[in-house]
Chain A
Amino acid sequence: MNFLAITRATLSKDMRLEWRSKDAINAMLFFSLLVVVIFSFAFDPTAEESRRIAGGLIWVAFLFAAIVALNQTWARELRNQVLDAYRVSPAPATPLFLAKAIGNLIFVAVLEALMTPLFIAFYKLRPLGAGWQLIPIAFLGTWALVVNGTFFAAMSLRTRAREIMLPLLLFPLSIPALLGMVNATTAILTGETSPAVWIALLVAYDVVFTTACLLLFETVLEAE
C-alpha cells in the first residue's frame, strides 16, 4: 500500500468536499469574527495592555473556532457510513489520520491568515520582539490543536453527544500547548522575554502527541 498516495488522495478529497460545502471554513470565520468584535467592545485596552492580552485572546478564539472544523472532519465520514468503505479497504489507518490532521491544519491556518490582520487592526498590535517568530509559533500551536483535536474527534465519533465530548476531551489536554502558544506570542508582542523556552515546549508537545496519536489511531478507527 502506498502510504503517501492514500494520504494525498484523502487530503485532496477532503479539500474538495470542503471547497464545495464550505461548512467548516464559514462556521469558523463567523465564530472568530464574532469573538474579535465582541472582545473589542468588551475591552478598550491601551496599546501596552493589548500586547499583554492579545496572545491569550487570539489563541482562545482559534481554539474554540477549531472545534468547529474538527467536528466537521469526521461528521462527513459518518454520513452514508462512508468510513466503513475506508475500513473494509486494505488501506492502513494512519494515512487517514494524517490526511485529516493536515486538512484541519490547512483549514485553521486559512482562518488564522484571515483573522490575524483583523486582530492587529482591532487591537492596534505591533510586536516589540522578533515578529517573524510568530510564524513558527502559529504553525506549532496550530498543529498541537489539530493533531489532538483530530484524534479526539475520531474517538468521540460514535458517542451520542460528540459535539460536547470533543471539547471535554481536548481542552484539558491542550492546556500545556495553550500555555506555550500564549506565552510565546506574548513574549514576542511585548519583547520583554525570549519565547525560546515556550517554542521548545511546543515542539516537545507536538512530537509526543503526534507520535501517540499515530500509534493509537488504528485502535480508535477499528473500535466498535
Chain B
Amino acid sequence: MADTQSTPVIVAEGLIKQFGRFAALRGVNADFLAGKLYVILGDNGAGKTTLLRTIAGLAQPSRGKITVLGSDDIKASSAQIGYMAHPSLLYDEMSGMENLRYFAELYGLKSGEVDRRCRAAITSVKLDPDLERPVGQYSQGMRQRMSLARALLNDPKLVLLDEPFSNVDARSAAEMAGLLAQIRDRGKTLLIVTHQPAQLTGHADEFLWMESGRIVNRTTSLYGAPQ
C-alpha cells in the first residue's frame, strides 16, 4: 500500500493553457499521489475547472506536460479515469439506468457485466436503479448523485469531480463526502474542485489553493489557507 501511495498518478510540469490571449493556467507544477483525496480551491476564474479538464483530456495544454496514470496520452488512460463535471453529463430524456447502460458500452464493459455494474454504481450513490423516471425529472441532488454514479461506472483509478456538492442540501452533501472518502479508502485517487471545502474537512488528504492559473499553496488542513 505504501508503494502504491507514493506513486504519482498525475504529474503536471509547467502546464499552461491559453484561450486566445487569456491564460487560464499559467505554469502549473504539481504531482498527485495514488490513494489520496485532494481538494482544489480558489476563486472563480482561478483555473480549477481548466486544470481538471486538462487532466481529463478535454482540454489540450498550450505548453507544458501532463502525465496521467503513467501516460502522456490521456485517451490511452481514459478507461481508468472517472470524470464528473458541473453539468450532469446525462441525457435528461432517459432514466438513470438507461444512461448508465449507454456509458457502460462506451467503456467496453461486457454485456453480461453491464447491468450488474450499472446497478452497483447507482446503489453506491444511494439511488434506486429501478427508478424509471427520466433524469430530467430528478431533483438536483439526485442528478448530482447519478452523475457521480456515471463517473464511478468504470471503476476508475482516478476520479475527477467538479463541484460535486453544488445545489445539494447539507445532509446529502455530507453523505456524498463520506462516500468519496470511502472511494479513496479503496485506493482510488480523487481530485475535487469545490467551493464548499468544509464538507471535506476530515476526509481530504490535501488542499490545493489556486490563484490566477497557478497553485499557490498546498496544505493538509483547510485552515492553512493563504490570506
Contacts and interface: CB of A to CB of B under 8 A. Distances in A.
Contacts of B102: 9-10, 13
A124 B83 CA distance: 58
B78 A89 contact: yes
Contacts of B70: none
Interface residues of B, number: 28
A1 B134 CA distance: 28
Contacts of A9: 102, 105-106
Given A9-B102, A90-B78, A85 B94 contact: no
Interface residues of A, number: 26
B75 A90 contact: yes
Identify whether the interface residues of A are mostly helix, strand, loop, or mixed: helix
A2 to B, nearest CB: 6
B107 A90 contact: yes
Contacts, number: 74
A31 B60 CA distance: 41
Nearest to A88: B83
B93 A20 contact: yes
Interface of A: 1-2, 5-6, 9-10, 13, 16-17, 20-21, 76, 79-82, 84-91, 222, 224
Given A81-B85, A85-B83, 6 more contacts: A6-B105, A79-B91, A80-B91, A82-B89, A86-B106, A88-B81
28 contacts: A5-B105, A5-B108, A6-B105, A6-B106, A9-B102, A13-B94, A16-B93, A17-B91, A17-B93, A17-B94, A20-B134, A76-B91, A79-B91, A79-B92, A80-B87, A81-B85, A84-B83, A84-B85, A85-B90, A87-B57, A87-B58, A88-B57, A89-B106, A90-B75, A90-B78, A90-B79, A90-B106, A224-B60
